[in-house]
Structure formats: C-alpha cells, structure tokens
Amino acid sequence: MKSDTIFIAWNQISRRSEEFSRKIGAEYINLGRVDKPLIMRLLNLLKNFFKTYIILYKRKPHIIFTFHAHPFITLVAIIYKLTNRCKVVPDLHSAAYLDYYRFPLIILIRWIWNQSDLLIIHNQMSAKYFDRNIIGFSEKIFVLEDPIPDLPKNIKRNKKLAPEITRGVLISRFSPDEPIVEFIEKIKGINDFQLYITGDYSKENIIPSDYDSEKIIFTGFIEDDEYWRLLNSARLIIALTTREYTLLSAGYEALSLEKPLLLSDSKTLRDYYGNFIEYLPDDSLNISQSIQKVIDGCDHYHKLMIKLKLQKSHQWDEKLKHLMDRVLI
C-alpha cells in the first residue's frame, strides 16, 4: 500500500490514531512497543527507530503524522525530512509536554518541534498550558480533540435494557493516574450495582478473588468486538484520571454509543463535556449519589449525549478541514 500521508505510532493501541488516520485517508502504521524490562524497551525503541526510517524511505510520503508521547518517533520523521520534501506533524499526547519536557531532553524536543510544520494537541486546556509554560510555539499549535469513533458494523446501540439490570463499565488501562482501587473501595455500599472493569488488572497486582465477584468483574484485556459489546450492554460508562490536560478515550466511546457518562472532575474534562455528563467527587457518599443519579436519569443523560455527539462531531469535522488546509499549504 502506498499513501501520500502516513501516520506512524509506536504503541500497543491508539484508537485516536486509528480513527484519525481513517478520517484523512492516511496509511496507519503501528510498530508496537514493549513495556518492560528496561533493556527490552530500549532495544524495541532502537528497532522501531530504524524500522520507521526504512518505511519512510520506501514510501516517500508527503505528509507524516506521528504519535508523539516521547520525542524519538518524531525525531525519525524530522531526520527523514532533512533530505526529503515532506511535512511532519506530531500529534502531541500529554506525556510529550508533562513528562518528557525535561532537561536534557528539552533541547532535543524544542529542536524537533521547531522543525515540525504543526503541533497537534488534544484540548484547549493544553493550549493554555503551552501559552503559560512552553514559549515559542503558539503559531504552530492546533487543537484537535479525538474523533468520535464509528461503531463496529455488528454493534447496534442497545438503548433499552431491562430495569433490573444496573451494569456499569469502568474503562481502564490501569495507568498510574487511574485510582481504580480507591474507587472500588468507595462504591462498596452501592446496592444492586454491577461494575465491569476492563484492562490489564495485573498492573495493579489486583487479585479478583479479593472482591465480590457478583458486583465487581475484572474482564482483563478483551478483543475489540467483545469490548464494544460489553460497553453496549452498560447503563453507564465510567472513566477515572487524576491527571489534568487529559481527555479520556472512554468518553469518546461513550459518545459513540450515546451512553450516560461519569468522569473524574477536572478542568480539562469540564471544558470539553460541560453540563452534559456527571462528574465524580472524591468522597464515598457523593460518589454513590452521583452513580445513582445517572442510573435514575438514564433517559435524560442519553438525550444529552445524543445532543453533545452531534455538536462535537460537527465541530471536529470543521477543525479537521482547517487542519488539513494548513498542512497542505
């Protein structure tokens, strides 16, 4: 397959990158990553570095998008650009400027960003962060949230569930910013509520048998079709983060399914979702009340999600058009 536009990722999975690539007709190439141990991670980075350059050399794309958390994936694209006519546009995830923007990497990162044609960031709060803390790139910043994913063809929105079914799905990758264990402890008092928790729970050393298997079900990693079926069967969807400047992919999936949504309370999430969803407080009593409020008002929140989905879909299409106009100049 040959494409004038390529999106390169070194990641396990990125629904944003996949959906974005599909929307713009780019060839999406994900070379994967290794999480541990350290020596294997370093070897994998080195392998992906050279493999990416070979791909670019053979494909000779005109536009290169990169999944930019650490700087090295975009470094390959910039090295290629030095001797070939092309545009390089990093898609900056929050780790790019919150975790890796440190001395001495900051020297390399600023050079890469200066050589890039545009810098995509995922929300308005991150744009404000750049304006305050990372000087010199305001002209290159372009805010583009995640596209709302299209449902798989075999999934039909399950809008009517039997009243006795009160199933919630907590979407998780068990990342350090997701207080999963603390949340489980705080919902123990909720009656008639069944919570499915997705993701690799071994990262938190969780032993499922330590929990009430009737109420708390750890799914582990599940395939995409099964994952969408599980979300479709839920009355509400939940996602957690303690990290500011982060929009959760779970929220976009809830929008796709038009499901009531409960999210951690942050300025970034409030800026995007406004009053269309419920936010989770810190204390156990109010968490229980928030969950019950959404369960009791499912029809109301479903209608709000339909409205928000239409609004955000239209806004995203307009932004994508403006982005591609700027890239193609």
Which of 31-40, 54-63, 202-211 has the highest average model confidence (pLDDT)?
Answer: 54-63
Decide which of 186 and 316 is more confident.
Answer: 316
Number of H helices, E strands in the chain: 12, 12
Distance linking the first and last C-alpha atoms of the chain: 25
* pLDDT over 80 (residue 273): yes
Across-strand partners of 188?
A: none
Average pLDDT, the chain: 92
Q: Indicate if the pLDDT at residue 317 is higher than 70.
A: yes
160 pLDDT band, cuts 50/70/90, is: low
Find the mean pLDDT for residues 229-252.
Answer: 95
Question: How far is it, in rounded angstroms, from Cα 194 to Cα 256?
Answer: 22
Per-residue pLDDT tens digits for 88-122: 999 999 999 999 999 999 999 999 999 999 999 99
Distance CA 168, CA 185 (A): 16
How sure is the predictor about 284, in pLDDT bands with cuts at 50, 70 and 90? low
- Burial string for 27-46 (b: 16+ CB within 10 Å, else e) reads bbbbbebbeeeeeeeeebee
Q: At what angle do helices 249-257 and 15-24 cross, to 10 degrees?
A: 60
Q: What is the pLDDT of residue 239?
A: 97
The pLDDT score that the predictor gives to residue 162 is: 47
Taking the C-alpha atoms of residue 320 and residue 229, their distance in angstroms, rounded to an integer, is 29
pLDDT confidence of residue 158: 60
Q: Could you give the CA distance from residue 116 to residue 81 in angstroms, rounded to a whole number?
A: 9
pLDDT score of 319 more than 90: yes
Distances (CA, A) of 327 to 5, 79, 125: 11, 19, 23
Amino acid at 10: W
In this structure, the dihedral spanned by the alpha carbons of residues 128, 133, 137 and 141, taken in order and rounded to 10 degrees, is -30
pLDDT greater than 70 at residue 142:
yes
At 205 the three-state DSSP class reads coil
What residue type is 32 in one-letter code?
G
- Phi then psi for residue 30, to 5 deg, are -115, 115
The mean pLDDT value for 201-206 works out to 87
Q: How confident is the model at residue 1 (pLDDT cuts 50, 70, 90)?
A: very low
How many CB atoms sit inside 10 A of residue 13's CB? 14
Residue 242 neighbours by CB under 8 Å, 6+ apart: 177, 178, 179, 264
Interhelix angle 72-82/105-115, nearest 10 degrees: 50
Cis previous bond, 90, omega within 30: no
Range with the poorest average pLDDT among 112-121, 233-242, 276-285:
276-285
190 band by pLDDT with thresholds 50, 70 and 90: confident
Enumerate residues 6+ apart whose C-beta is below 8 A from 156: 232
Q: Is the pLDDT of residue 270 over 80?
A: yes
- The full set of domains in the chain, from first to last, is 5-144 (3.40.50.2000), 167-311 (3.40.50.2000)
Please compute the mean of the pLDDT values over residues 235-254 and round it to a whole number: 95
Instruction: Using the CB atoms, write b or e for 177-216: b if 16+ within 10 Å.
Output: ebebeebbebbeebeebbbbbbbbbeeeebeeeebeeeeb
Q: What is the 3-state secondary structure (H, E, C) of 123-191?
A: CHHHHHHHHHHCCCCCCCEEECCCCCCCCCCCCCCCCCCCCCCCEEEECCCCCCCCCHHHHHHHCCCCC
pTM value is 0.91
